[in-house]
Structure formats: C-alpha cells, structure tokens
Amino acid sequence: MAKGFYISKPLGILGIVLGVAAVCTIIALSVVYDQEKNKNAAESAPGAPTSPTTTVATTLDQSKPWNRYRLPRALVPSSYQVKLRPFLTPNSDGLYIFKGSSTVRFTCEEATNIIIIHSKKLNYTNIQGHRVALRGVDGSQPPTIERTELVEVTEYLVVHLSGPLQVGSTYEMDSEFVGELADDLAGFYRSEYMDGDVKKVLATTQMQSADARKSFPCFDEPAMKATFNITLIHPNHLTALSNMLPKGPSVPFPEDPTWSVTEFQTTPVMSTYLLAYIVSEFTNVEDKNSDIQIRIWARPSATNAGHGSYALSKTGLILNFFAQHYNTPYPLQKSDQIALPDFNAGAMENWGLVTYRESALLFDPQSSSSSNKERVVTVIAHELAHQWFGNLVTVAWWNDLWLNEGFASYVEYLGADYAEPTWNLKDLIVQNELYRVMAVDALASSHPLSSPAADVNTPAQISEMFDSISYSKGASVLRMLSDFLSEKLFKTGLSSYLNAFSYQSTTYRDLWDHLQKAVDSQAEIKLPHNVSDIMDRWILQMGFPLITVDTKTGRISQEHFLLDSTSKDIRASDFNYLWIVFISSIKSGTQQENYWLEGVQQTQNDLFKTTADQWVLLNINVMGYYQVNYDEDNWRKIQTQLQTDLSVIPVINRAQVIHDAFDLASAGKVSVTLALNNTLFLNKEIEYMPWQAALSSLSYFKLMFDRSEVYGPMQNYLKKQVTPLFNHFKTVTNSWTQRPEKLTDQYNEVNAISTACSTGVPECQQLVSKLFTDWMNSPDVNPIHPNLRSTVYCNAIAEGGEKEWNFAWEQFRKATVVNEADKLRAALACSKQTWILNRYLSYTLNPDYIRKQDATSTISSICSNVLGQPLAWEFVQSNWKKLFEDYGGGSFSFSNLILAVTRRFSTEFELQQLEQFKKNNMATGFGSATRALEQALEKTKANIKWVKQNQAEVLQWFTENSQ
C-alpha cells in the first residue's frame, strides 16, 4: 500500500512559506482503517436474517480460543466461493446494503470441536437453524452444529460442534449474510461522487489489513492463503471488476432481468487482504500492444479527457522492469488499475486490480504539475512492485510488514527511474524517505523495524505497523543492503527467494538466507559477517548510528543517535546499540576504498586521518543509513571547500552536510552556529537537494521562532541567500515563461519562488499577485503553470483577503481534477484572516465541503499556518471525540494530525495543554495516533529545551549574517 497523506513538492514548500516545517519532516504513512458507522445492516435487510446475537468480551478469558486475536492453527482454508450483490440505492431505512453468500473449504490439521472464522458486522440468515451449514468433502462426516455465536471484540464467528473435526479431513461451510455498504472506506464500501449535478454511487473494496471479514466470513490472516471464486451480481448497465478476468460474458440474473451476473476466474493461492471487487460505471483505456491486458479505469469524464493516458503509457514499462528485476514473469493475465474518488490510502496493491486515489493515478497535463506526474509514476511502481513482493510471496504476519512495504518503497524509485530515465528519481529517495524518517527514528519513542509476532495482535496494533518506520526506514536499510552487496547480488538473492516461496508466506529471515546463498555463490563481494548478523542490528534495534570521525588521529566511533541525548527509558537492545556499518568516503575530492566498522564502539584507520590541507567526507551519496560528525577543523575545511568550489562535493553530499549538521545541532553534538555556517554556500548553489535540505532544516527554526524576535533577522538572511537563486531561475525560464528541463530544477524553481515571496523579495510578490489577479479576471483560463500553482495560490491568498479566498474556494468547489483541487485545498489554509481560518476548520467536519479522506490533511494544512495552528489545536481539542468516532481512529491520518497540530509546541504551557489533552481523552482513545501522541510529548519537551539553549545564539547569528 502506498502512502496516503501525500504532500507534493510545491505543497511541501508551502510549509516553508508560512512557517511549516514538518509537513516535510514527519509524515506518517496512511492506510485505510476507518471505523465504521454504528449501524446494523441486518435489521433493515430484505429477507429475515437472524438477530445479531453477539458476545462482547470485556475481559478476555485467554483460555477460550475465540478470545485470542490470532486464529488457531487447527483449520487451514483452501478455497472460497463468494457471491455478492451490492445495492447502490438506499433501502426503505435509508441504508445501503449488500447481500452475499459464501462457501469456504478447509482442512482439519489438528482435532478441534470449534470452527473460528473472522466475521465483522455481517448479519446471517439462518440455514437449518444456524448461521452456517457444515458438510464433509470426499466422504468425511462432519459433527452436528450445536450453536453459533458472534464475538464482537475479536471479530469472530464461532461454530460450536457436537464432536471433533477429524485430522486430515476436508469440510465446506456455507453461509448467507447481509452487510452495510457503508461510506467508511473499509471492507466492501460505497464511494460517491458528483457527475455534473448528478450523484453517482459505486461499490468498491479496501481489505488491508483486517477488513475482508467485513465482506464475507473468512480466515482473515495473511498466511491463511487460498483460492477465491468471486461472483458479482450487479445492475446490468454497470461494469463488474475483480482480481481476475471474467470467465465469460455477464449473464442475466434470473430473479431480475435488470441485473447481471459476472463470474470471475479462480484466483491463484493468495491472501484475503489482496482481494478486490468493484461495481461502477467507470470506463477504461487499454494497452493493446501488451501480452498482459493493461487497463486504466476512471470516471468516464476523466477517461474521456485522457487523464489515464500517462499511467497507461508507464504501466507496461514498469511491469517489464520488475519481471526482469525479479527474474520472474508477472503472475497474472491482466493488470487493472482504477482511480477512486473516495480512497483513504494512497493506493492498494490488490492482485490484478490495484486501487488508487485519483491523484495517485490520473494526470491532466493542463492542471497537474511535474510533482503530480512524479507521484503517479512512483505510486504505480510501488504497487506493481507488490504484485511479486507481497502478493506472490507474502509476509506471514503483520509484524514483518516493514519487509513488504519497505521493499516496495525502495524499488518504487528503481521502477519509476526506468519509466522516466531522465528524471534522476533514484536520488530523491534520500530526501523523501531517508531524511524524513530519521526525524522519527532519532526519537526515544521510535521502535525497531521488526517486532515479535506476539506483540502484534489486535487490528489497532496491526494498524500501528503502517508507519514511516516500516515504509521509509525499511526502504533506506534495504537500499543500503543492496549497495554493499551490489545490485547484481541483491537481485540474484531476490529472484531465488521469490522462486522458492511463490504462493507461500515468509519471514524476513528467509530473505536473508537467500541473499546469503547469493553471497556464498561468488568470490568478488566479501562481507565481514553473514547477511543476517549485519542486518539484524538494523532490523531488531531502533534508531541509527552517529559516526564520529577525528581527522587528526583517524579515530572513528559510533553511538546511538538521539535528538535528545538525555532521554530516559530507552528500550533495551541485544546489540547494545552498536551496528556493523559499511562506510564509503571521499578525501579532498578523491573516493577512497570502502571500510567496515564491525560492531565496535571505536577504532582507528588512516583512511580518516588528514593532513593540514585535506578534508574527509563519509557516506558517499548517503547510501548508508547513518549520520556523520567530524572534528571542528574538518567541518571548517568542508565549509571552505563549499564556498570556494562546491562542485568537488557530490550534490547529495552537499545536502548531507546541511542535514546532518542541523540534526547534530538539535542533539547538542555541534554548535547551532556550525550548522548555520553550513548554509553560507547556498548563495552559489542552484541544485535542488542542498536547497531542499536547507529549507527543511530551517523550517524547524521557523516553527520554533516564527512567534519571536528571531523571525525578522532569519527572514532577512533567507532573502539574502535566495535572491541569487531567484534571479538564476528568472533567467533560465525567460522571465518565468518557460520551465527548466530537469525535474529537480523544476522543483528548485518552486523553492526559489516560494522562499523569495515568503521572505519579501518585491519582484516575487509582484509576480504571484499579477498571476493570481489575471486568473481572477479570467477564471476560465488559468494562466499559472501547474508547477507554480501551489506557491502562487498560497502567497496570493496570504496577501489577499476575503475576495481572494472566496474565489479560490469557488475554484476548489468546481475543480474536476483532484490534483488541482488538492492544490487549492492546501492554499486555502494560507489565509492570514483568523475568522476565515476558523470557518475553514468548520468545513472539515462537513463531507459535502471536504471529503472525509481529506479532512485530517486539511486540518494539518491549517496547522502549518502560524495563525492557524492555535485555532486548529483548539478545534482538535474540542472535536476529538467526533473526529475520532466519525472519521475513524484507525486511519493513519490521525497520527499525521497529532504531529501536525503539535509541531510548533515549545513552551511549558503548551506541554501542559498536551498532557491535559491526553488525560481528557483517555476514555475516547487515540487509535493509531497513540504512538504519535507519545512522540509529540517527547518532541515538545525537546523543543522547550532547544529553544532555551539556542534562541540568543541564533538571533545573533542571523542578525550578523543578514547584512
């Protein structure tokens, strides 16, 4: 599953404009886990379903297997027959429902007199007096059913039998049921959208992690793989899709000729969470030149406008790339991808039918920016990578989710780079994944990549696995592993792993074993320890090392890097927070031989010793997941090199020098002035990554100081540094009439305009004001290039009043392309009018104004505004129960919301407020935001300490260097 709370490059830069930092710093990754509305579909369903008698286990007696969240191993499913009929108009009680029937075939592996199968909010029709019917297969005789019950807490249907099932025997269990086709974005749900003035309804799915059980009774764990035979009954003017192709043409439904029946081919052996089925009027564009059927589905108006064409042109390329990368053919006959109006995650890798937010699949060249295009190609690559790694071979349990999502988050950059070879996308993983997650992983409240399976049981615990550690740290350490093994060896081990475990489930140790076999089969690459010994230190302990070099002696040492070195109660590590680290280095512009720091705290090597005129720099292109500190003399030499001839140091390492120094300053390892001195060369820098590292790092200063006397001198310094960059892009773009050729130059053009406007460069403010005024005068013709719209909209709304805001709101309401709507939705939060921001906050609770999937990210955008942050915090405190209950405490956008609304907190009063908020809402709970709340408390304490220590020094530095 791709990240859901996506911030585009221009929107991320808007954070710098109004003092946002951490839109770019901590973005937890989103997955659908919305709680449902508390409705009972059964009571309103046609037919006469049994009353939903349930057992509510308040204190779970663990001696009863149905009170344990993990399924017993006694029964193993082999196949399902599932028939579903969604009703896309409400019944007499105003509810949307679906009716279904299923047959599950399973084998008894251990004698048992109970059948435990997942079921969530399904209401069953009696069959022979019970919720289910049981029969033997191939002559086996089943015991009779004594009773059935629904256990609400653990989400089970429990069938109590008069005697035991026989080991080795196979049985089939039938059921008929009714469920609500809710608008909760989970399980089998409905999505609504407007086609002109007409409301349209479709039925779609989101099963990951634990919501297939909401669609039909099933053994809903990833290792419980089976084949699935899906049949959909649907209005005959609509199209039915599922993981597989239809067996043949749809046939009339005997009970109603206005409905059709579509039966799909049997799936391969697969996990329940990868199932998908959709009923809609959507249309598609198809690649006729591929051996695999490739189709992009969307609203008919979007398809007709050509918005699926870009995705179609890249899908075949990416599928071919991964087939070669894995040395394994694509496992299915077809690859459908569909853009849904209501979808809480970024995308979901359902096998053969990948679902996306519209902004992650559709591209309109008239209104979508380059970053929107990058978003599309990387998300497609992420989801298609899963078709092998995750779908063909699946992690056995959610505690190893990092392997699934971390891997896809790494190779998405490789697949996208293959599809767009001129974009240099592989470098962006450093800024987008590695630096972003280090901000979280440097906290004492972080956690290891892999958790013991016994620690992950409940749906809420599963949902907590879908965070930036799993995605972005997973990607970063796998990239590091591929680097020191070599891509060739990595691919060899990967291919062996996929071939060995196709259609099965694994743990991460199985991958280590196959990579080790690849290492052992050759002599060129030698490791100091086996793959498992090296990688376990990165997987089983949280955080990352700080490598410190003393260039006078060549001494090199490591320690666990924490932003707050005084943090107490750090979780214990079997490795004592020592890592086996692969270190690359440059000495005065020349690359040196590689070096292994082998799990010791300190050693010495002349590679890292310099003479008077030499400097050394570690971690070339930031391939390693660690940060680096040097003695002050070496730092000064690096600064001198950057200010005299910055080209000697690779672009990514110019970004590294800035990023690492600011983190080190935050942790008290170097002075804050050393970190600030590392930005002095920026008046000669035109590349994106160093500038982005500086703006991201300085955004923390803005958060801490945009309400203090430091802010003015800081703005003056940034204005001084950015003016040459602004003038450079004015020349390159022929006075803003053309776009730069390189993708990263296009991103840096936006950086230049955003920073110049926000720091008061008059020519910039005149530019954005004119562009926005021209658009207001001719609303049907937008003269603003899509790349520049986010920053122009934000600055114009910030400098304008009600007239500008209302114009942007009307354009948002009329927008038919989601990328354009997203730009406007974020920019509307840039207003400097308090009453407007309060009104906008109230809109987030009205799904007619702001879609549910966008509510929390809209509040987060308002938090980014220094004027909006206290309003948003008050709003969240006042409305937490409603937000939590109506919008789903399991949605990972809630962790984003807590982090966003608290990121400016730097006073004792704000800490007290946060602690009181936690206390006041213990009864309601925090769901997936539980961990984020602890991180926010820790971060607030660190902010208080940092501001006290650094404010005076920072004020003096900016004052002296802004002249």
Residue 125 burial class via C-beta count within 10 angstroms: exposed 0-12, middle 13-18, buried 19 and up: middle
HSE-up (13 A, CA, CB side) for residue 221: 25
- Respond yes or no: is residue 741 known to be catalytic: no
Hey, what are 355's tokens?
């679902």
Contacts of 235 (CB under 8 A, 6+ apart): 88, 258, 259, 260, 279
Tell me if 832 sits within 8 A of 706, measured CB to CB: no
- Spatial separation of the C-alpha atoms in residues 310 and 314, rounded to whole Å: 7
User: What are the start-end ranges of the E strands in 97-186?
Assistant: 97-108, 112-118, 122-124, 132-137, 145-151, 156-165, 170-180
From the candidates 383, 405, 420, 464, give the one annotated as an active-site residue. 383
Instruction: Report helix, strand or coil for 516.
Output: helix
Measured from the Cβ of residue 934, the count of other Cβ atoms closer than 10 Å reads 16
Tell me if 679 sits within 8 A of 721, measured CB to CB: yes
- Spatial separation of the C-alpha atoms in residues 933 and 208, rounded to whole Å: 24
Measured from the Cβ of residue 21, the count of other Cβ atoms closer than 10 Å reads 24
Tell me if 849 sits within 8 A of 861, measured CB to CB: no
324 Ramachandran zone, left/alpha/beta (phi>0; psi -120 to 50): alpha
Instruction: Report helix, strand or coil for 854.
Output: helix
Q: ∠ at Cα 765 (801, 750), nearest 5°?
A: 110
- Spatial separation of the C-alpha atoms in residues 461 and 480, rounded to whole Å: 28
Q: Which of 52, 22, 26 is nearest to 39 (CA)?
A: 52
- Spatial separation of the C-alpha atoms in residues 408 and 322, rounded to whole Å: 11
Q: Which of 739, 735, 785 is nearest to 764 (CA)?
A: 735
**For residue 209, is the peptide bond before it cis, meaning its omega torsion is within 30 degrees of 0?**
yes
- Spatial separation of the C-alpha atoms in residues 596 and 152, rounded to whole Å: 53
Question: Which contacts (CB < 8 Å, 24+ apart) does range 566-572 have?
Answer: 567/443, 567/444, 567/938, 568/444, 569/444, 570/444, 571/447, 571/542
Hey, what are 407's tokens?
């891997």
- DSSP strand pairing (293-298 vs 283-287): antiparallel
**Could you give the residue numbers annotated as active site?**
383
